[in-house]
Copies of this chain bind each other. A is one copy, B any other.
Amino acid sequence: MIPIILAGGSGTRFWPMSRKERPKQFLKLLDDERAMIEATVDRLASLSDEDRPVQIVCHSGLVPPMKEILGEERRVQFIEEPAARDTAPAIAYATACAEALYGDEPIAFFPADHFVAGQKAFERCLRFAAERAEEEEAIITLGIPPTRPETGYGYIECAESIDDIGTELRAEPVVRFVEKPDHTRALQYLREGRYLWNSGIFVFRPATLWAELQRQQPKMWNQVQKLRQTLAADKTNTDELTEVFNDMEPISIDYAVMEGANRVEVIPALFRWSDIGHWAALDEVKDTDADGNVVDADALLDEVTNSVVVSHESQRLIAASGLDNMVIVDTDDALLVIPRNRAQKVRDIVERLKEQ
């Protein structure tokens, strides 16, 4: 299969560590000193044939810093978006590029900044997904069996309960994609056993996507046809590609294709996963101390529990006392102090800062 990483995210939820020029995929949020994008590339390296490097889709501005982070050793190839668009244009464009290079091979799309543990199980799931995508002409998604009533994730509803999956690989027809639920609904989903977290990983052959676009998004389909013709004729004619791309409607792949697709299957994942969506989720992927704190800073903590204390490129000492469930993030030019249960509001704070 052709692994493609969608690496255009702006990652405002990890402000002040993440910035426009330093989005989440560039951050070293894990314990292993690799940036998220490094870990993602390494995870996918074994999924493709040796002569097919992992592809990375992002807008041109992110390419130079990403190359620097990834170094010379890693075999990657960039698909440069002329501008930052939503996922539907990015995926259509990347699929057209991959098709021009490798034909109607199954393509697997991955977010750049998620956490996965269990490399073997991950590879097994993906190979199974590629087989299904090829044989069934379906869009295959990976769903994560939920372990808590999470309100920060989208869900995928199956027809049958998948509570009994164990370590068996199977694919279930998708009933529908569900937006982030409130707590009551999330609890209900957890109890019903027919819902999986949407991992943002999906696999399909180019022909499958084209058929869905033709049926569901005729305008985008026409634009894609132009892209394919241009790419088939002369890959270096970037002006025309840019023009067509910039004209595409900035909508998400879920909305444009997934929710209305004829044939979508979900494979319950056998690996551990987190999208590390905000500061409070850091303890899902990093070691905590005896008091439940994630500490990545020069810190003096006195009766501080279940908190996240991080400093980034700052030599400052952080002294804290008598805090529970607090997030403190210190960088060279900005400091964030927020209770854990508000970590998802960081995006709003960044919006307010932009306004000012």
CA distance A92 to B162 in the complex (A): 84
Interface hits, A1-59 → B, CB 8 Å: 15-16
> Shortest beta-carbon distance, A148 to chain B, in Å?
22
The listed residue (B300, B302, B321, B349) touching A321 by CB distance below 8 A is B349
Stoichiometry, copies per complex: 2
Q: Is B316's CB under 8 angstroms from A339's CB?
A: no
CB-CB under 8 A for A335 and B335, given A300-B353, A319-B349: yes
Q: Is B318's CB under 8 angstroms from A352's CB?
A: no
Kindly list 18 other residue pairs between chains A and B, CB separation below 8 angstroms, not including A300-B349, A319-B334, A323-B337: A302-B345, A302-B349, A302-B352, A316-B334, A317-B333, A317-B334, A317-B335, A319-B336, A319-B353, A320-B336, A321-B342, A321-B345, A321-B349, A322-B339, A322-B342, A322-B345, A323-B339, A328-B335
Interface hits, A300-355 → B, CB 8 Å: 300, 302, 315-323, 326, 328, 330, 332-339, 341-342, 345, 348-349, 352-353
CA distance A326 to B338 in the complex (A): 11
Q: Does A167 contact B (CB under 8 A)?
A: no
Q: Does A236 contact B (CB under 8 A)?
A: no
Task: Return chain B residues, CB-CB under 8 Å to A237.
Answer: none
